[in-house]
Structure 1
Amino acid sequence: MSRAIVSKIEKENVLALAEEGKRLDGRKFDEIRPITIETGLYARAKGSANVKLGNMEVAAGVSIGTMEPYPDSPDSGTLSVTAELTPLSYEHFSMGPPSDDDIELSRVVDRGIRESKAIEMDKLVVESGVEVRSVFVDLWTLNYAGNPIDAASLAGVAALHNAEDEELGKLPVVKKPIANTFIKIGEHILLDPSLEEEKALEARFTVTLEDTGNVCAMQKAGSSNWTTDEILACVKIAAKHSKETRKLLK
């Protein structure tokens, strides 16, 4: 049986279950998989974390350097996020230059951290206009099981809160932005898609909320549209889950 036929059967199965109000793993439509967070695992990093979202696993490492500040922000440190969907984690990923999916994952995580103002960038200044500290967050998938955005975002934030530098001390991280990703399958909206559900999606929507519940980032993808009411409903669900997820971060 060809892969295309298998894929079609899998998609039809996911949709048929959704029509019955069910999911493959028995979760409710608005239920996330179990989360585990471990920090301080990698001695060579200034901060590190491993996050498991169900069977989806992501590792994060933080490094800190110095650089000349950007001309338009002489009193602000810098942040850079890179992500890699590794072949180790899923057979369909390959080595080489960053793919579109790698770049999208990096940007969504970066935006959530940056726009929430999770890091007090002014405290990363060594000498105004001359030298600032630069924070690098590197993310790698260790096992791919769907919804890398939420797992990678959580890993990145956990690693930042774990980060400490010999000269700087604890990295000035003051917020815990949490991403929640929803997908559309037919007329149904599912939170935290598994790999099988991800293959069947028609649209994807990620919303990141900071500690006060304010939205700090959004990202849409896929061939289908989202109505205003659907987005507002997703934000409401995300606000509820973000509070609980945030409690897991130390």
Structure 2
Amino acid sequence: MSYTPYRVPIVSKIRSKSLISLYKKGVRSDQRDFATPRNLSIQVGVIDKADGSAWVKLGNTQVLVGVKLEVGIPYRDTPNEGVLQVNSELTPVASPTFEPGPPDENAVELSRVIDRSLRDPKAIDLSSLVIRPGEKAWVLWIDIYVLDYDGNYFDASMLGVMAALMNTKVPEYEETESGEIIINREKGTPLKLNRRVALVTSVKVGDYILIDPNIDEELLADSRMVIAFDEQGTIVGMQKSGMGGYTRDELLKVIDISRNASQVYFKLLDQALQSGGSQG
């Protein structure tokens, strides 16, 4: 992760040595093992005026996601599909490293990773969002707000996005003789999803691979890997950042433990949708 240079938080040498000494014993500062995500809470339907919404707390990282559908014009190259738009905001209250103003490179990266993870595997049935081919279609806006940042907003954001999408209702509408679209948000049908996707983030600190890093672990990391999985465990996206490299065995290990973590996320996501809230 990159930060504004003069606002880069620093992990002290004493703290760094303390964390490394724990890793040598096979544990982390919060007593997790290397392959276990932090406690997860999910609540859906938290924004009354949104067509779908969710709040996620992963460890101490909190994310709010809202989904809104508006009538727009489909892209010329996809006249038979609705439009997907993903926006992210790293709110200044979440971290002293986040500043007000236009989205920085980190917010843009988060939006792009989420967008690709939905678009490339065709997770959303965009064809179901066409009103009049080539002329009118639903624009699906996904807005992500990082409210509290203690590391790994990728996984938390994707969980929030999926929970919100599964909670989304496409409004009913009527088309007048003049072609005007009259929206009725009091009634709607569930958004059609082709598959569900989870992101799993890991970092490499020295020789150690850590799933779902907290902020200290991210700052110590030599590299970061974000992998997108569907429910069958198929990799549908991957992004690496940082200067550190991976051996073949390390990469296979990252994929294996990340795939296992994705199944934990999907299980908790199911529980959240069944009960309106979940904790793991």
TM-score by length of 2: 0.84
Aligned length: 248
1:1-250 equivalence runs, <5 A? 7-167=12-172, 169-249=189-269, 250=273
User: How much does 1:239 deviate?
Assistant: 1.9
8 Å Cα contact 2:130/2:137 also seen in 1: yes
Distance in 2 (CA, whole Å) between partners of 1:7 and 1:83 is 30
Per-residue Cα deviation, 1:174-217 (whole angstroms, up to 9, x for no partner): 32201110101011110000111111111000101012211111
Change (3 A) 1:28 1:81: same
8 Å Cα contact 1:113/1:157 also seen in 2: no
2:181 matched to which residue of 1?
Answer: none
Distance in 1 (CA, whole Å) between partners of 2:224 and 2:11 is 22
Change (3 A) 1:77 1:4: closer
Distance in 2 (CA, whole Å) between partners of 1:205 and 1:144 is 18
Distance in 2 (CA, whole Å) between partners of 1:5 and 1:25 is 19
Distance in 1 (CA, whole Å) between partners of 2:10 and 2:158 is 34
Change (3 A) 1:176 1:108: same
User: How much does 1:232 deviate?
Assistant: 2.0
Distance in 1 (CA, whole Å) between partners of 2:92 and 2:150 is 13
Gaps of at least 5 residues in structure 2 are 1-7, 173-187, 274-280
Change (3 A) 1:228 1:144: same
8 Å Cα contact 2:11/2:219 also seen in 1: no
Name which one, 1 or 2, has greater alpha-carbon Rg: 2
Change (3 A) 1:166 1:222: same
User: How much does 1:4 deviate?
Assistant: 7.5
What is the percentage of aligned positions where both structures have the same residue? 38
Runs of 4+ displaced beyond 3 Å:
3-9
Letter paired with 1:227: T
